Structure 1
Amino acid sequence: MKISLIDSNENRILQNDIIRKIRDLINSKNLERGEKLPSERVISEKINVKRNHIKEAIKRLEFYGVVKSISQSGTFLSIGLTGFNGIVEEILTIDSPSFIELAETRISLELKTVALASKRRTEEDLIRIENTLKAFELKITNGKDYLEEDLLFHLAIAKASKNNTMLSVMLLIIPPILDTYERDAVCDGDQVLSEINKHKDIYLAIKAKDTKKAEEMMQKHFFKLSKFIENKKT
């Protein structure tokens, strides 16, 4: 089951209610770390909720690392009750991230990935980045929407960082960025052509293994987006 950062309010309310009931059930049994949760069927019967909703809620708990599902064995508590209750309380208060929050996270992450990529990139990475750059340039010069090609360019950089955690976070935040994308946050009209040169400068800095230049070019690339975020928060 796919985990999304963005859910409808109705689905999130339902999930949160189920998670509260699962939490209460776990506490009533005083489970310890490593102990098995009741089966989805048993939980479904006890809290009177359909099994597909139980499965979705457990997947969400597993996403945050508080339980672990093992095929053919069941679902187990990954941490002690104190930690479990504390993390679940935080899970229940998390709202779907806004475009501003997603963009802010992306900028912070990409400044780090581009620095690592400039140090760790291979020739294969350079080919991948260059190919996404060409696809990005083609979309812009043909006057077509280029957002997905832009994101693939940045994903190629994240892959070149050789940090799978950072790449995973990038993969996690890209779909909701596409869903909540605000066109005013990037260059429009004639200015969009300058984005080609900015992307090329990032690529060339990575190719030259010039970490300082790579970070500088990435900051320049995100300048308007950073200002957009700053203005929205003031």
Structure 2
Amino acid sequence: MSEALRPLSRPRLYEQVVASLRQFVQDHGMRAGDRLPPERDLAEKLGVSRTSVRQAIVALEVQGLVEVRHGGGTYLLRDRLDAEPLEAMAARRELLPDVLDARDALETKIAALAAVRRTEEDLAAIEAALAAMAEAVDRGELGKAEDARFHAAVTAAAHSALLARFMTEISGSIAESRGESLRQPGRPAQSLGQHRAVAEAVRAGDPEAAAAAMHHHVEAVGQVKLLEWQAAAEAEQE
């Protein structure tokens, strides 16, 4: 049989709702901070159940595209609803716990070593990374590049070639976990405060405190809506 005649996969209904919402936002020139219509109105206009609309909103919330204020509606966090495919979300959700385990094991040790081995040059690099992230947070940005710069500076301060190589090998997965975390509302400023705690312990030459501060930070990185999300079963059309 021709490959062109393989059974077709039917998109989940709430994925179609996401596509409709993306087009609605674009057509109406909506921007970050604008409020979407209520779920009841969306369900009526689209001819679907409120469950399908709610599943679509949850998927957008998990990706940091909207904020749901209980009793206050749903608001855009970005100017566009460029949602990723469900399969990609599910794959990231499956991998993320392992990435966090690896980060905890590697980065807590790296922080402890940095507290013992750091030089004045290392401390200057860490302080510069903190200052850059503070500026990014003040501008209202996520600060992903600045976040990466801080962790790279701490890794360099540990002066462990093998641990640095391990970090490089999983850098792509770390970048995904970083982006996932920083998309959470209020997280960039929270991460900056946690970075400062790590830096303070490193500066003080206290390996136990540095490891504890980094462990606390990685635990916070893992507090993301993606890990609470379950790929919902397809809702039936009414």
TM-score (norm 1): 0.51
Number of the residue aligned with 1:151 = 148
Aligned counterparts, 1:152-167, within 5 A? 152-167=149-164
Q: Pick from 172, 184, 189 the counterpart of residue 193 of structure 1.
A: 189
User: Does the CA contact (< 8 Å) of 1:187 and 1:224 recur in 2?
Assistant: no
1:119 partnered with 2:116: yes
Match of 1:216? Answer: 212
Q: Is the 8 A contact 1:99 1:177 kept in 2?
A: no
For the aligned residues, what is the CA RMSD?
3.0
Contact 1:121 1:161 in 2 (8 A): yes
- Larger RCO (CA within 8 A; separation ≥ 6): 2
Distance apart, 1:181 and its partner CA: 4.0
Specify the alignment match of 1:8 in structure 2.
none
* 1:197-234 Cα distance to aligned partner (Å, 9 max, x none): 211111111011011211121122122234559x67xx
Counterpart-to-counterpart distance in 1, 2:211 and 2:192: 17
Partner amino acid for 1:209? G
SS of residue paired to 1:222? helix
Structure 1 residue 163: Cα displacement: 0.4
How far off is 1:183 after superposition?
4.9
Distance 2:222 2:185 in 1: 19
Does the CA-based 8 Å contact 1:132-1:153 persist in structure 2?
yes
TM-score by length of 2: 0.51
| 2:49 aligned residue | none
Q: 1:149 corresponds to which letter in structure 2?
A: E
Of 167-176 and 207-216, the range deviating more from structure 2: 167-176
Q: Deviations over 1:105-138 (max 9, x none)?
A: 1121000000000000000100111111111111
Unaligned runs of 5+ in 2: 1-91, 229-238
Q: Percent identity?
A: 26
The answer to whether the 8 A contact 1:107-1:222 is kept is yes
